[in-house]
Chain A
Amino acid sequence: MSVGLPHYLVVSALLFSLGLLGVVARRNVLIIYMSLELMLNAANLALVAFSRYHEQLNGQVMVFFVITVAAAEVAVGLALIVALYRRRHSVQVGDFATLRH
């Protein structure tokens, strides 16, 4: 059995769903953040697979942009989470309730 486009897409969809599940179900900000990165990487995998399938490099170039943006997002995000941790001494989203609906 050779590994083709559908296999990559199934793995990518699974990764995306796992990430989404993590964001919705977990209560720890850091784990939520890791799950978000998982969602981005699921998209990266799909982009590379499609790029190979269409035999053009656009998709892979896009992956570089996504990786770069994700790195910037992580840098800003972790700084924010650390700053909030210093004030709140917690990384549980349930404790961040100054702003209520």
Chain B
Amino acid sequence: MTDFAAIGLELAVAATGLAVLLLDLWVRPEQRRWLTWTAVLAVAGIFVASFALTLPEPARLFGGLYVLDELALFFKRFFLLAALLVLVVGQEFADRFPAGHAEYSALTLFALTGMMFAASANDFVLLFVALELVTITFYVLTSFQRRRVASLEAGVKYLILGALSTGFLVYGLALIFGAAGTMNFEQLAASPPAVLESRLLTVGLLLVLVGLAFKIAAVPFQFWAPDVYEGAPLPTTAFLAVGSKAAGIVLLLRVWFVAAPALTASWAGPLLVVTALTLLYGVLCAIPQRSLKRLMAYSSIANAGFLLLGFCSGSAAGVAAVLFYLGGYLFAVLAIFLVATLAWRGTDTDAIADLAGLGQRSPLLAGVLTLGLVSLAGVPPLAGFFGKFLLLKSVLASATLHPGLYAVAAVALLAVVISLYYYFGVIRVVYWGQQAAAQQPPILLAWPARAALGLCVFGLLWLGCFPANVLNLAQLAAQSLPWR
């Protein structure tokens, strides 16, 4: 496989983004919505094409900078699916942007390109460039409603805190390069023991982990998430919660298990503390929220905690559980944001109370929203339940390694119980909430929105009832990390 054939998927996505941006100049305004649908079709085509790619063995390209293995492929498909649904949400949200609908789709595709490169990063240089492609694009996507002060403020807040985490990341890279003389993950792992035990490397790696913990919104680097999630437009919030978080997770997987497995294994204790705090902070702060976006922000922090459980168990089963859990999380979050976008068309609200009466206005939307929330809460037989079950099972299977794992599993169970309360609070409002005075009209749905809703429901049920297929893919992907 030549170098440029290997990055074919990324090139195709970037080319689609550029094409959307350019075609926007020649397309008449009333036909612009077809541009987004073309982009959706292109992303769907690239998603299908990714299954034609077979890997006899992992390929290392561009001088070891880029790796194409099952883990990378799994995440590339994940990001393609996420972006596909986000594009549909964005199109449904387009009436609330003052201008630049095609630019919104193009920027989503560029962020997708960054995420797909991040899935293949095997070197700190590509890690940095891919992460920044995602982050800088998100600064723009966050503040896209430029008439709304909250959106701009969220953008500036994300900008300052994101740039701060970039500063830590780059300084960490410099120290790692100084200690080891290489930036390649595999070469770093193969360094002599004197290098691996040097204090310079430890500090550098910690700074890089700070940058990645910021991306996935793990305590104590979660403080940006609620404000940015609340201020950003709905499709951006959805993409932040799913795509940006998963990009952080895949880079964390590579750094944690490939670049310095010996060093990170000795940090099991601090990791357990961070995981438990992230779980508790997320679920406890979610309880009093009245804004759906803020609720989802705290829920995404709690979910970062659940994902970190897989790192705690430190086994292939744990990583496979992380990948499976991400799949369920993708469908649940996008179902919720798609319903919110459709239900709040023509308004500028994000209050949970404004979902009241959705059960009568549109039983379909209310049903999909309920499915998404119930899956996030981890109720069988939906995807979220099976993901949480696999994560806890992997933690308990490795519990002989570290006694603290029992404690963190107990904290996770407690978090599941608390999260039931606020997820079901939203469902209660949907079906039994006090409606506003005037009877609101029923909601009409176009067929692309129906198709996207159907895809989310199918994903939630399929992953929950027939997990074997995706679990096999996840286990295959987990095997491409080096296990001793």
Closest to A46 in B: B174
What's the Cα separation between A9 and B212 when bound, in Å?
Answer: 24
Chain A binder among B68-76, B139-147, B272-280: B139-147
Chain A binder among B27-35, B160-168, B240-248, B452-460: B160-168
A80–B159 touching, CB < 8 Å: yes
A46–B178 touching, CB < 8 Å: yes
Restricting to B138-187, which residues have a CB under 8 Å from any CB of A?
A: 139-140, 143, 146, 149-150, 152-157, 159-160, 163-164, 166-167, 170-171, 173-175, 177-178, 181-183
B170–A66 touching, CB < 8 Å: yes
What's the Cα separation between A32 and B124 when bound, in Å?
Answer: 26
Find chain A residues with CB under 8 A from B125 CB: 58, 61-62, 65
Find chain A residues with CB under 8 A from B175 CB: 46
B310 contacts the other chain (Cβ, under 8 Å)? no
B136–A23 touching, CB < 8 Å: no
A2 contacts the other chain (Cβ, under 8 Å)? no
Find chain A residues with CB under 8 A from B171 CB: 16, 39, 42-43, 46
Interface flags for A77-92 (1: CB within 8 Å of B; 0: not) read 1001101100110000
Which one, B129, B149, B167, B231, contacts A39 given CB within 8 A? B167
B149–A98 touching, CB < 8 Å: yes
A33 to chain B, nearest CB (A): 7
Find chain A residues with CB under 8 A from B183 CB: 58, 62
Interface size of B as a range? 35 or more
Find chain A residues with CB under 8 A from B231 CB: 98-99
Find chain B residues with CB under 8 A from A73 CB: 132, 136, 139, 159, 163, 166
What's the Cα separation between A88 and B147 when bound, in Å?
Answer: 11
What's the Cα separation between A16 and B181 when bound, in Å?
Answer: 21
A99–B174 touching, CB < 8 Å: no
Interface flags for A34-45 (1: CB within 8 Å of B; 0: not) read 001001101110
B103 contacts the other chain (Cβ, under 8 Å)? no
Which one, B136, B140, B152, B177, contacts A59 given CB within 8 A? B177
Restricting to A1-35, which residues have a CB under 8 Å from any CB of B?
A: 9, 12, 16, 19-20, 23, 29, 32-33
A58–B177 touching, CB < 8 Å: yes
A56–B181 touching, CB < 8 Å: yes
What's the Cα separation between A76 and B107 when bound, in Å?
Answer: 13
Find chain B residues with CB under 8 A from A99 CB: 150, 153-154, 157, 227, 230-231
What's the Cα separation between A83 and B150 when bound, in Å?
Answer: 12
A91 to chain B, nearest CB (A): 10
Interface size of A by CB at 8 A reads: 45
Known A-B contacts A58-B182, A96-B157, A99-B154; the reply to A23 vs B173 at CB < 8 A is: no
Closest to A19 in B: B167
Which one, B154, B177, B181, B227, contacts A47 given CB within 8 A? B177
A33–B163 touching, CB < 8 Å: yes
Find chain A residues with CB under 8 A from B163 CB: 33, 36, 73, 77
What's the Cα separation between A50 and B178 when bound, in Å?
Answer: 5
Which one, A9, A23, A44, A76, contacts B160 given CB within 8 A? A23
Q: Indicate the member of B155, B178, B181 with the most A CB atoms within 10 Å.
A: B178
Q: Indicate the member of B163, B173, B226 with the most A CB atoms within 10 Å.
A: B163
B297 to chain A, nearest CB (A): 11
Closest to B167 in A: A39
Closest to B175 in A: A46
A53–B156 touching, CB < 8 Å: no
Which one, B132, B140, B153, contacts A98 given CB within 8 A? B153
B406 contacts the other chain (Cβ, under 8 Å)? no
What's the Cα separation between A62 and B178 when bound, in Å?
Answer: 12
Which one, B124, B155, B226, contacts A80 given CB within 8 A? B155
Find chain B residues with CB under 8 A from A50 CB: 174, 177-178, 181
Find chain B residues with CB under 8 A from A39 CB: 164, 167, 170-171
What's the Cα separation between A52 and B469 when bound, in Å?
Answer: 51
What's the Cα separation between A45 and B81 when bound, in Å?
Answer: 40
What's the Cα separation between A88 and B230 when bound, in Å?
Answer: 19
B128 contacts the other chain (Cβ, under 8 Å)? yes
Which one, A9, A65, A77, A101, contacts B128 given CB within 8 A? A65
Which one, A43, A51, A59, A76, contacts B167 given CB within 8 A? A43
What's the Cα separation between A49 and B178 when bound, in Å?
Answer: 9
Find chain B residues with CB under 8 A from A88 CB: 149
What's the Cα separation between A101 and B227 when bound, in Å?
Answer: 7
Restricting to B168-227, which residues have a CB under 8 Å from any CB of A?
A: 170-171, 173-175, 177-178, 181-183, 226-227
Closest to B158 in A: A80
Find chain B residues with CB under 8 A from A84 CB: 149, 152-153, 155-156
Residues of B at under 8 Å CB distance from A? 124-125, 128-129, 132, 136, 139-140, 143, 146, 149-150, 152-157, 159-160, 163-164, 166-167, 170-171, 173-175, 177-178, 181-183, 226-227, 230-231
What are 8 of the A-B contact pairs (CB < 8 Å)? A36-B166, A40-B170, A53-B178, A54-B181, A80-B152, A80-B159, A98-B231, A99-B227
| Given A23-B160, A49-B178, A76-B140, 11 additional A-B pairs, CB 8 A | A19-B167, A43-B173, A62-B177, A69-B166, A73-B132, A84-B155, A84-B156, A88-B149, A93-B160, A99-B231, A101-B226
The 8 closest A-B pairs by CB, nearest first: A39-B167, A50-B178, A46-B174, A43-B170, A99-B227, A54-B181, A43-B171, A36-B163
